[in-house]
């Protein structure tokens, strides 16, 4: 379980508490994902006590019904969330000496609120590098989640390819992809805006879909991904709608050849590393 890694880190670094504030990190450790917008959302972890999620009251039941099987506490908008967090922490471990924070995510304003709530605690220790390193090493279960996200992306490409018609817009094709992902696969969130760009627009990697109409014998760029239980896919394909030119075919063959060379070099590097 990923939370075990965090607890072991707390023990090895002599930290009493970890205040995890990045929703992506919280999902990694708990399996619960949500966007708190302007409200407070945190995972409070201890080296020798059960962790708990702290969230807006309107999300408490959702968190309890998620993959997370630990405690969940909430607050209403008129309440002081920092005082409630301090009270919950003090009930478990008394007054903590060292509280590790995600320095790559926690805002200065919220750090100041934590200092007020925990006046006797130190916030010098940074848990962000540990979280980044832990997320690099995937468990077999995480690999399966990534494969599922990749399969959803493959499905999205097929929907996009089938939606290409003379005169339809880039936004129409992107809309069909997003709609069919929801309708047929239950995918509620893409990992970023679905990109479909045709003709000269295909030369601009991140322009985004426009009202540009797709015409015969153009190249069409697709760049898309899905979120699957907090794990993202990110893939790109360029297809010819109609007949590609001789120059385009030459570039395609050159790209395929170079990709194969790079994959061979990568495999050789991995063998040497192992």
Give the tens place of pLDDT for each residue, 212-236.
999 999 999 999 999 998 899 999 9
Q: What is the mean pLDDT of the chain?
A: 95
Q: What is the CATH number of domain 140-243?
A: 3.90.230.10
Q: What's the pLDDT score for residue 270?
A: 80
Report yes or no: 44 and 85 within 8 Å, Cβ to Cβ.
yes
pLDDT tens digit sequence for 113-144: 999 999 999 999 999 999 999 999 899 999 99
* pTM > 0.75: yes or no: yes
Q: Check whether 1 has a pLDDT greater than 80.
A: no
pLDDT tens digit sequence for 165-205: 999 999 999 999 999 999 999 999 999 999 999 999 999 88
170 token code pair: 């880039």
> CATH 3.40.350.10: does it fit domain 2-136?
yes
Backbone dihedral region for residue 242 (phi beyond 0: left; psi -120 to 50: alpha; all else: beta) = left
Q: What's the pLDDT score for residue 194?
A: 97
DSSP annotation of 169: B
Q: What's the pLDDT score for residue 5?
A: 93
Domain ranges of the chain: 2-136, 140-243
Cβ neighbours for 198, distance < 8 A, ≥ 6 positions apart: 170, 212, 214, 215, 218, 219, 220, 221, 241
């Amino acid at each position: 379980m990923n939370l075990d890694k965090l607890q072991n880190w707390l023990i090895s670094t002599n930290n009493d508490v970890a205040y995890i504030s990045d929703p992506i990190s919280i999902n990694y450790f708990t399996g619960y994902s949500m966007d708190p917008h302007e409200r407070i959302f945190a995972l409070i972890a201890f080296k020798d006590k059960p962790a708990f999620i702290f969230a807006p009251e309107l999300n408490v039941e959702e968190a309890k019904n998620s993959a997370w099987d630990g405690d969940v506490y909430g607050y209403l908008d008129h309440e002081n969330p920092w005082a409630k967090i301090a009270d919950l922490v003090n009930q478990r471990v008394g007054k903590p000496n060292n509280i590790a924070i995600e320095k790559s995510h926690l805002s200065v304003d919220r750090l100041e609120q934590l200092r007020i709530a925990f006046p006797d605690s130190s916030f010098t220790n940074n848990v962000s590098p540990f979280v980044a390193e832990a997320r690099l090493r995937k468990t077999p279960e995480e690999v399966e989640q990534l494969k599922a996200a990749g399969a959803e992306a493959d499905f999205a490409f097929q929907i996009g390819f089938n939606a290409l018609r003379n005169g339809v817009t880039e936004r129409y094709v992107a809309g069909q992809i997003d709609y069919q992902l929801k309708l047929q696969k239950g995918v509620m969130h893409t990992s970023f805006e679905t990109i479909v760009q045709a003709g000269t627009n295909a030369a601009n990697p991140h322009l985004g879909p426009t009202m540009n109409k797709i015409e015969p014998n153009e190249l069409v760029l697709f760049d898309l991904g899905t979120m699957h239980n907090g794990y993202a896919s990110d893939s790109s394909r360029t297809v010819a709608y109609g007949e590609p030119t001789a120059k385009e075919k030459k570039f395609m063959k050159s790209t395929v050849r170079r990709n194969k060379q790079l994959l061979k070099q990568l495999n050789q590097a991995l063998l040497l590393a192992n």
